[in-house]
A and B are shown apart, each in its own frame.
Chain A
């Protein structure tokens, strides 16, 4: 597939850009933060996004989805990145919803996906147990019982965990921490006995929760996919999530870069605009190169998911590593070039930097992905 947008995708981009600018500009995130909003986003707006077809963008029409692809989701996420729209695409669409799509039984899909597409049902995937992303280091145990399983363990950084209606829990049914095999996914009601969910307050003002499981009992129908083979579902989820976050980061990077160049053309010191200084020009031009080289890899990675290409994982790592690094460069340079005002809460550059850092550290940072890329390339 070509690395340029089709006419339909261009239209979608316009719609998304327009919606994000009007309905969820950066000030929207600031209001949610300052009012200590309980959900961290507006349910009403999420429903509006669902009506535009975005919540169900990946899902089959039979469940009420738009049945488009990642190329289209990427377009939407990029625009959301530009305005820091804090909506539950990752938790509910990319992780929860897609886990059900990839691994769920017909009954599970029927039960979950229509609600997701409508913007009603919220999901969360609870897999991580420590700060750094190490996908299979899972100690949470699921012991077999007469009727199903009993799960105990602690999860951290569960995106949108505190608002989710259902959690998908990754727990160990065999093997030990670090093993790829032996992980099983369970679809669990957020109200289940023994489940404690606590929202954590994070730098990007988005939602993540700690989840404690203290002997949560589920019956056999709660298993998502097959016992011990949860990694077969998790791996494609992580690849897609890394690519989707990269698409969001493209939006952030482009926005911050454009704002910074604009600032270089307006701020005056020594009687001239600061953009006349060669030291800044060269750094801006170097940034331009990094920004430009960050676009095509994400477009290609999104298409690789849609086309089910064998090089998908390698591209996912290439995209996530590059966008993590470019976002870090552009937000840090952007802030520096704004001078003192860049340090203030009032100037929005800091909000972009915070979100970029969170996206960078989610689903593997650049050193994680460089190492993985090397492994996938045989060194």
Chain B
């Protein structure tokens, strides 16, 4: 893409943000004040972004996408960030996981039916992969689907299904040929969770929240036209989707990035050199105290520095990997590396905040602890799931050893 085209697209995006983004949701310009955001502001921004296809910028326009090339999508992301605003997350599993595999494996009818409703947030999806007896060994799954006319009849149970209780549809791995080798009898099917025979029961987590559920299927009728890809060819799709999931899990957690370094060259002459800051250190400061202008606890300082450096290296590695990826190339087995590192890093980060806060980090409920402190406790507990969800860290190590390093079985 020629640089002039990129420049003119950048101008276009800036003008779009200027004209449409409520000031409560972006950085105020000179002379503006920033009011508190109202629900109407959020809704307006969401609707405008949806209309423009910017909630799924790289999807084709006919499916509700923005039709942007990779470099254009990067420009959009940069400009949203520069303006201090965001792309509304209209859907989670649909956007990052199901959408990309439907684009790759879905037939025309499936794409036309499902993609626009992901893009505009109308349908929320959840992921029916794990079962009580099939976790890391996902391919041993037992949920059965038997053909009956234009339908499949589904029996079995899925577990750890994130957000099932707030979702409309499920993408589900089912066994369609019990006699084939375990990877060869699996299909990938979509169905409505409001179908008769579906029961969703939330499960409480150590963090006190109920993010996920067990889902039971008793003679659930799913339309056969919603079987994606070939019958018994679901495993390939399943693995591809996991790569997208891992890519999402590597980029979507807080506190990652190349840090505050390298301010983009602004047009104005004066160069503002900001002292880079560590959010983690600033969070620790009130609890740990200072000595000679530094965090008082040298050992903790060392752990924070290690974490910040890892995070910096991680952000730069993600950037390098994006820059060296050929256009149109999706995530690869190396995505496991980012997924693994991100989850372990996020867990270390949470452990550091606990050390920094001392007993103040133990708050569970009530007024004796601030809302931030209570959220921190729960965040620490939630972080433990990072190295389990989307395939455990051990499973990522197996994938790297096999697919990246080609170590023999």
Q: A residues within 8 Å of B by Cβ?
A: 2-4, 261, 264-265, 273, 275-276, 278, 281-282, 284-286, 288-289, 292-297, 299-300, 304, 309-311, 314-315, 317-318, 321-322, 367, 370-371, 373-379
Contact = CB atoms under 8 A, between A and B. Distances in A.
A265 B394 contact: no
Contacts of A314: 261, 276
Contacts of B304: 374, 379
B305 A261 contact: no
Given A314-B261, A374-B278, 10 more contacts: A3-B319, A264-B407, A278-B398, A281-B398, A318-B313, A322-B313, A374-B302, A374-B304, A374-B308, A379-B294
A336 B310 CA distance: 25
A266 to B, nearest CB: 11
Contact of A296 (B259, B306, B317, B341): B317
B276 A261 contact: no
Interface residues of B, number: 50
Contact of B261 (A294, A315, A379): A315
A314 B402 CA distance: 36
Interface string B156-192: 0000000000000000000000000000000000000
B405 interface: yes
B113 to A, nearest CB: 39
Given A261-B407, A286-B397, A322 B302 contact: no
B323 A373 contact: no
B273 interface: yes
Contacts of B324: 3-4
A371 B262 contact: no
Nearest to A282: B397
B316 A300 contact: yes
Given A284-B405, A288-B337, A297 B312 contact: yes
A3 B405 CA distance: 23
Contacts of B282: 379
A289 B301 contact: no
B96 interface: no
A276 B408 contact: yes
Q: What 6 pairs between A and B have smallest CB-CB spacing?
A: A379-B281, A281-B401, A296-B316, A311-B261, A285-B400, A3-B320
Interface of B: 258-259, 261-262, 271, 273, 275-278, 281-282, 284-285, 294-295, 301-302, 304-306, 308-310, 312-314, 316-317, 319-320, 323-324, 334, 337, 340-341, 394, 396-398, 400-402, 404-409
22 contacts: A3-B320, A3-B324, A261-B407, A265-B408, A273-B408, A275-B408, A281-B397, A282-B401, A285-B396, A288-B405, A296-B316, A297-B312, A311-B261, A314-B276, A318-B312, A373-B309, A374-B305, A374-B308, A378-B275, A379-B278, A379-B281, A379-B305
A378 B281 contact: yes
Contact of B341 (A293, A297, A367): A293
A296 B309 contact: no
A315 B337 CA distance: 23
Interface of chain A, main secondary structure: helix
Contacts of A311: 259, 261-262, 276
Contacts of A295: 317, 320
A315 B224 CA distance: 55
Given A286-B397, A321-B309, A379-B285, A293 B317 contact: yes
Nearest to A291: B337
B239 to A, nearest CB: 18
Contacts of B262: 304, 309, 311
B292 to A, nearest CB: 10
A281 B323 contact: no
- Residue with the greatest number of chain A CB neighbours at <10 A, chosen from B271, B304, B309: B309
A68 to B, nearest CB: 21
B341 A289 contact: yes
A296 B313 contact: yes
Nearest to A286: B397
A369 to B, nearest CB: 8
Contacts of B320: 3-4, 295-296, 299
A281 B401 CA distance: 6
A294 B320 CA distance: 11
Contacts of A261: 405, 407
A378 B261 contact: no
Nearest to B345: A293
Nearest to A374: B305
Contacts of B340: 289
Contacts of A375: 294
Contact of A367 (B261, B302, B334, B405): B302
A286 B404 CA distance: 12
Nearest to B325: A4
A318 B275 contact: no
A265 B304 CA distance: 38
